[in-house]
Amino acid sequence: MVKRIDCKNLYYRHLNKIIQDEAESGETEFILDNLNGQRYLGTGINKAVNITVNGTPGSDCAVFMNGPTLTINGNAQDMIANTMNMGKITVHGNVGDVVGYGMRGGKLFIKGDVGYRAGIHMKEYKSQIPVIISGGTARDFLGEYMAGGIFILLGIGSDSEIITGDYLGTGMHGGVIYIRGDVENDTLGKEVKKLDIDEEDRRILRQYLTEYSQDFGFDVDEIMSKSFIKLLPLSSRPYENLYVY
């Protein structure tokens, strides 16, 4: 049984309560039609439910999400996957700014572009590693203060060889950023270094990009045929001198 909801003119609190109550009652499949900016979608659900969104969710979609699978047939606004813990989000469009803020687990796959400060404060713990893949381009401050996780930027369909903004990895002290193509050294934050990828990196990339390609209908071999670079932090405590211990 699938729970289908027409979200037109439905207040976000009412919508989220319907989903939460139905999930607690055992519903596992939801289709949301005519979604238009309702916030906090997927919040407070600790079950492996599937939610298909036809429309554009508002800010903080999947904040603190802990298990659901979201398929968004459209764009998404700012702060998607904020502090997400577990689950998967697939966005068949573009997303706004500050995506994956403090994200600590799960996967966020985006077909198109990301805005400013994507991947900010991402983190990981032991085997829990968050992954963000964007198929398009990114604006300034990608990976700002990143403490863990994996961010992959592909630039598919971009008319320019430059697929990132400035200040890449500013304050970064953990995790890794993979970029398909290259970046200019003067766009990097002082806390990161640019390296060629190795065989272990290729294995990681193919693992995640195979799943990503299946979700969006891409050819993983074609994606992997272009060279990648990786960005790693130079220090685990780039602002150590600001603290007393």
Residue of 71, 158, 56 whose CA lies nearest to 107: 71
Residue 15 domain flag: no
Residue 208 sits in a domain whose CATH number is 2.160.20.60
Residue 187 domain flag: yes
What is the spatial distance between Cα 183 and Cα 163, in angstroms, rounded to a whole number? 8
Residue 6 domain flag: no
Backbone torsions φ then ψ of 56, nearest 5 degrees: -125, 110
Q: What is the pLDDT of residue 71?
A: 98
Q: To which H or E segment does residue 30 belong?
A: strand 29-36
How high is the mean pLDDT of the chain? 94
Assess whether pLDDT exceeds 60 at residue 244. no
What is the spatial distance between Cα 148 and Cα 173, in angstroms, rounded to a whole number? 8
Q: What is the pLDDT of residue 137?
A: 97
Residue 161 banded pLDDT, cuts 50, 70, 90: confident
Residue 14 domain flag: no
What is the spatial distance between Cα 39 and Cα 36, in angstroms, rounded to a whole number? 9
Q: What is the pLDDT of residue 170?
A: 96
Residue 212 domain flag: yes
What is the spatial distance between Cα 82 and Cα 96, in angstroms, rounded to a whole number? 12
> pTM of the prediction?
0.94
**Burial classification of residue 216, based on how many CB atoms lie within 10 Å of its CB (0-12 exposed, 13-18 middle, 19 or more buried):** middle
Q: How many domains does the chain have?
A: 1
Residue 26 domain flag: no
Residue 218 domain flag: yes
Question: Quick one: tokens of 200?
Answer: 């272990």
Q: Domain limits at 220?
A: 94-233
> What is the Cα 123 distance to its own chain's centre?
12
Residue 104 banded pLDDT, cuts 50, 70, 90: very high
DSSP string, 141-210: STTTT-EEEEEEE--TT-SSS----SSBTTT--EEEEEEES---GGGB-TTEEEEE--HHHHHHHHHHHH
For residues 88-113, average pLDDT: 97
Q: Which amino acid is at 82?
A: N
Residue 45 domain flag: no
Distances from the Cα of 92 to the Cα of 18, 135, 142, 198, angstroms: 25, 10, 20, 30
pLDDT in tens, 110-134: 999 999 999 999 999 888 999 999 9
pLDDT in tens, 143-156: 999 999 999 999 99
**Helix%, strand%, coil% for the chain, nearest 5:** 15, 30, 55
Residue 235 banded pLDDT, cuts 50, 70, 90: confident
Assess whether pLDDT exceeds 90 at residue 10. yes
Q: Which amino acid is at 237?
A: R
Return the sign of the alpha-carbon dihedral for residues 136, 137, 138, 139. Answer: negative
**HSE (side-chain half, CA atoms, 13 Å) at 187:** 17
Q: Which residues sit opposite 32 in a β-bridge? A: 5, 53
